[in-house]
Amino acid sequence: MELNQRTSQSPLNLILLIAPFFLWGTAMVAMKGVTPHTTPLFMAGVRIVPAGIMILAVAALMGRKQPQGWQAWLWIGLFALVDGTLFQGFLAEGLMRTGAGLGSVMIDSQPLAVALMSLWLFKEHIGLWGWLGLGLGVGGISLIGLPDDLILNVFSGVISLPNSLNLNSLFSSGEWLMLLAALSMAVGTVMIRYVTKYVDPVVATGWHMIIGGLPLWGISAVTETQRWQNLVTSDWLALSYATIFGSAIAYALFFYFASSGSLTSLSSLTFLTPVFALLFGNILLSEVLTPIQWMGVALTLVSIYLINQRDTLGRSEQVTKVTIAELASTSQSEIFEQQPIEVKLKEGLATRD
């Protein structure tokens, strides 16, 4: 509520609030435009290592405390492996095989996994709206990631797999690599609760980008060729945009609003990221989805909103029930107060012993 009140008072604040999700979505489009001229792991390292250095520089100017002790560095290392190396590696590899908009939808399905892990680890309440969102999310991801032939066969009652389906190619497809990236991001999101027990969250973000990005460059040096030789000026500009705006500035704005307002209200805007990615992917890259994939996108976006807003929706439902009960109780009391009941006894009954 506090966040909504502040942003409603100033158009600039509203723009800054939406900016991280706009930058993340458009950064996906910028990275996708570079993929024909570079290699995925090199590109992933370029995106996060310089951004991590920028974030640490800002953290130093702000006087934030650096990690202390082996436990802090251990958690940073684990966080870097999961949310840095694995997440960015799967993201870049998946982006080579799928569109920016579709990939962004898959990435931002991670609240589904976060909700389930939070239920298991922290006993967090999911509720009716959360479970509904999880169900819609599973359906949406299935419509996006599974081949159209398989989905059409299922709805037509055919139980055999289509001839065009190759299970090996299915699990190496861009959609499923993006799903692995989403799962890695979800694990990293849950891990941050443990990381922040020992390290400042902004400092941890900067270090995990650097530590997580260096193995990507190491693996790229061994397994990839022609990493930057084919990049032109426009490609370097796109990578710079993804690094500076899509990583460093986007994370800085996100952490600012997360620390000064309602995190629930902020997280409810997550669904804007794939919207921006789909829009600019269509405009700049001419990306086109099939009708079934559009249905999956719609279901996934609705599921993300329901999961992020499950507590708010649940409270609204409880308030509505309480209000109705109060109105009913008040109405009954007013009836009895304003319209007293007169009881008339027959004369014979009044004198009976």
Supply the pLDDT for residue 189. Answer: 76
Supply the pLDDT for residue 1. Answer: 44
Q: Is 94 helix (H, G, I), strand (E, B) or coil?
A: helix
Residue 87 neighbours by CB under 8 Å, 6+ apart:
181, 184, 185, 188, 212
- pTM of the predicted model over 0.75: no
* 348 alpha-carbon distance from chain centroid: 79
Supply the pLDDT for residue 140. Answer: 77
Supply the pLDDT for residue 287. Answer: 76
Q: Which residues of the chain have pLDDT under 70?
A: 1-10, 108-115, 118, 121-125, 141, 145-148, 150, 154-155, 157-173, 255-256, 258-271, 308, 311, 314-353
Residue from 93, 94, 34 nearest 236 by CA: 34
Q: Is 125 helix (H, G, I), strand (E, B) or coil?
A: coil
Q: Is 267 helix (H, G, I), strand (E, B) or coil?
A: helix
Structure tokens at 289: 């989805």
Supply the pLDDT for residue 129. Answer: 77
Q: Are 174 and 97 in contact (CB under 8 A)?
A: yes
Supply the pLDDT for residue 4. Answer: 46
The pLDDT tens digits of the residues spanning 306-353 come to 776 776 776 666 655 555 555 555 555 454 455 554 444 444 444 344
Q: What's the Cα-to-Cα distance from 28 to each of 46, 203, 271, 295, rounded to whole Å?
A: 14, 24, 14, 21
The pLDDT tens digits of the residues spanning 89-98 come to 998 888 888 8
Supply the pLDDT for residue 210. Answer: 95
